[in-house]
Amino acid sequence: MLSMYLAHQSGHEICYVVGISSPGESWIFHTPNAWLVSMIADAMGIRFKGAETDGTEAGDMEALRSALGGLDAEGVIMGGIWSDYQWDRINNICGDLGLMVYAPLWRKDQSLVYDEIGAAGIEAIIVGTFAEGLDETYLGCSLDAACKERLIKAGERIELSVTGEGGEYESLVLDSPMHTKRLAIRKERRDVSRGSSLLTVEEATLENKGQN
């Protein structure tokens, strides 16, 4: 979301929100609560284009090619920061399709990127933890200064990315300056297993901003 916001602020027109869903895990894409991406697109008044992957590396690439192919767009906004794996694969697909890649966060300091999320007015929460030291108490936590301090403290014991880029945690955006409506979670389920925890959104609605 931050990359999209920065692109918008730089004068780029956001024509589509692209979402890739998977029945399980994915090599490259965010998977928890992926069904909400179309609702997030609606909340911003932007068209949605989706595709499905079987979760394999080859399936991820084929789904991305399918989702991006035929779009009336000049380029793709990428949110990667330091992942060469993501960078190489997304650039390869976009190159084949004649699309430019816009990556405003690429090689930025991750601590500064985390701070930019709040400074931009983006409201996001943690919906999955997958690293040692991050337990179920992080579920539902807003990505704010207090959460950052917890993540930094956890990172003193193990190496982790404060932005979660290494898969340490997954997040969900509820609101941003680009939203005309806010995503509201109405029903959720929390599952905890050894080494991971997950907040699954079972019901959600879009509500007017300021509405409780």
Could you tell me the mean pLDDT of each successive run of 10 residues in the chain, 212 residues long?
97 96 87 95 97 93 95 96 93 97 97 98 97 95 98 90 94 98 98 96 94 64
> Would you list the domain boundaries of the chain?
2-208
How much is the pTM?
0.94
Q: Is 26 exposed, middle or buried (0-12, 13-18, 19+ CB in 10 A)?
A: buried
Residue 63: what pLDDT? 95
* In the block, residue with structure tokens 């297993």: 193
Q: Please list the alpha-helical segments (H only) found in the chain.
A: 2-9, 37-44, 57-68, 84-97, 110-119, 145-155
Residue 212: what pLDDT? 59
At the top level of CATH, the class of 2-208 is alpha beta
Residue 191: what pLDDT? 97
